[in-house]
Amino acid sequence: ATHSQPPVSPSNVCKARRLYVDFKDVGWQDWIIAPQGYMANYCHGECPFPLSDSLNSTNHAILQTLVHSLDPGSTPQPCCVPVRFSPISMLYYDNNDNVVLRHYQDMVVDECGCR
Amino acid sequence: VPQQRLLLGALGLSERPFAGSRSGRRDVPPALWRIFRRSERVQADEVEACTVSEYGVRGNIIRYVQDQGGVIPGSGMACPGCVDQHLFFNLAALESLEVLYLAQLHIRFMSAARVARLLQSGPTISAVLYKVVRPTLKGADPRANRRLLLSQSVRPGPEGVSVTMDVTSLAESWRRPARNYGLLLELRPLDTDPDQSWAAPSVEASLVAVSLHPQQCRSRQKRS
């Protein structure tokens, strides 16, 4: 079954991709003071058999790719998801026109993995 | 709209903050800019992120709350230059899950420009701050409804003079809007020349509230 699938080129493998979120694009520029946007990134790509160490995979994901390689129709590949985030701080006006500085976790995707 | 609400909810906001023009809005306090810039540099440090080192307390949210009070009409009738000012800080925006670690009151007394020009610094003022424990009913003695917090003499120069005070426990009670009656600030001139017309200083008050939202500032489990 594995031989019937096209090989996954390195560019298709699960990894973090660049995504810049501009707060103007979501219409929040009126109340967010800073930053005006930030590099949020996202995860995209395949989790092919065999999973390498660089794909931050779990034991379960390794077994899932094995099962998928044997029967692709019944079991999907593991998902390419964020496994490490970092926080950002945002400065904004609230509804009472107060200035608020708030620290938000899990805002930037630093690493992706197959889970 | 539902999608935006979902996103705002993830950011800990119940609704989209006022979407009007930014003109006329208050400036960002320089201290807050400094903290923001520093947080950009150290944001990878999880432990640091849940502590506001500038104030030496835990927290992931710093609010500069504006004073919504004002001069009490007719308060200048008691004596020339006397001013009674109501200070009111709305803390209803704090979510019930948030833990308030610090509330710091800043009061800045600015001498009237005319007085500052004449005297280089304004006259000495007695500044007495009370917390209001319940609203004063008509005809009742207002002194029964207040508790003394601070009594200080200040002499504002051209640059003004500031008083800072920790009001954390008091601000905790203000989180329930029905129990928030604010503060009363009485200003009385101490050494004015009776021959010289005297103008009361202007007062700018703000409250810095540092709180921690436990769900948004959890400790990260160490991975092997």
String of DSSP letters for A21-37: EETTTTT-TTTEEE-SE
Is the Cβ–Cβ distance between B62 and B36 less than 8 Å?
no
Write out the two tokens for A75. Answer: 């079991």
Is the Cβ–Cβ distance between A24 and A51 less than 8 Å?
no
Beta carbon pairs, A and B, within 8 Å: 99
Residues of B in contact with A94 (CB under 8 A): 13, 17, 63, 93
Q: Does B93 touch chain A (CB under 8 A)?
A: yes
Instruction: Determine, for residues B93 and A97 on separate chains, whether the beta-carbon distance falls below 8 Å.
Output: no
Q: Does A97 touch chain B (CB under 8 A)?
A: yes
Average pLDDT over residues B101-113: 88
Q: Does A99 touch chain B (CB under 8 A)?
A: yes
Indicate the pLDDT class of residue A83, thresholds 50, 70 and 90.
Answer: very high
Q: Is the N-terminal amide bond of A50 cis, ω within 30° of 0?
A: yes
Chain A contacts in chain B segment 119-158 (CB below 8 A):
none
Q: Does B31 touch chain A (CB under 8 A)?
A: no
| Region for A46 from its dihedrals, namely left if φ exceeds 0, alpha if ψ lies in -120 to 50, beta otherwise | beta
pLDDT at B224: 39
Instruction: Determine, for residues A105 and B217 on separate chains, whether the beta-carbon distance falls below 8 Å.
Output: yes
Instruction: Determine, for residues A33 and B29 on separate chains, whether the beta-carbon distance falls below 8 Å.
Output: no
Higher pLDDT, A72 or B200: A72
E strand intervals along chain B = 51-52, 57-58, 61-66, 70-71, 83-87, 99-110, 125-132, 146-154, 161-166, 183-189, 202-212
Indicate the pLDDT class of residue B221, thresholds 50, 70 and 90.
Answer: very low
Residues of B in contact with A99 (CB under 8 A): 26, 28-29, 32, 63-64
Averaged pLDDT of chain B: 82
Residue % of chain B over a pLDDT of 70: 79
Mutate which of B11, B51, B68 to test chain A, going by most A C-beta atoms within 10 A? B11
Is the Cβ–Cβ distance between B101 and B211 less than 8 Å?
yes
Question: Model ipTM?
Answer: 0.81
Residues of B in contact with A93 (CB under 8 A): 17-18, 22, 25
Is 50 exceeded by the pLDDT of residue A81?
A: yes
Higher pLDDT, B187 or B76: B187
pLDDT at B43: 59
pLDDT at B48: 65
Q: How far is B108 from chain A (nearest CA, A)?
A: 18
Cβ of A112: how many Cβ atoms within 10 Å? 25
Q: Which residues of B15-36 are buried (b: 16+ CB within 10 A; e: fewer)?
A: ebbeeeeeeeeeebbeebbebb
pLDDT at A2: 45
| Structural element, H or E, at residue B8 | helix B2-10
SS3 B3: helix
Is 50 exceeded by the pLDDT of residue B223?
A: no
Averaged pLDDT of chain A: 89
Q: How far is B179 from chain A (nearest CA, A)?
A: 19
pLDDT tens digit string along A27-45?
A: 888 889 999 999 999 999 9
Indicate the pLDDT class of residue A94, thresholds 50, 70 and 90.
Answer: confident
pLDDT at B183: 95
Mutate which of A26, A84, A101 to test chain B, going by most B C-beta atoms within 10 A? A101
Report how far apart, in Å, the C-alpha atoms of B199 and of each of A80, B117, B123, B189, B205 are. 68, 12, 10, 9, 19
Q: Does A34 touch chain B (CB under 8 A)?
A: yes
Is 50 exceeded by the pLDDT of residue B1?
A: yes
pLDDT tens digit string along B69-95?
A: 998 888 777 777 788 999 999 999 899
Report how far apart, in Å, the C-alpha atoms of B66 and of each of B25, B34, B85 are. 11, 19, 14
For A103, the closest of B16, B17, B39 (CB atoms) is B39
Q: Does B3 touch chain A (CB under 8 A)?
A: no
SS3 B118: helix
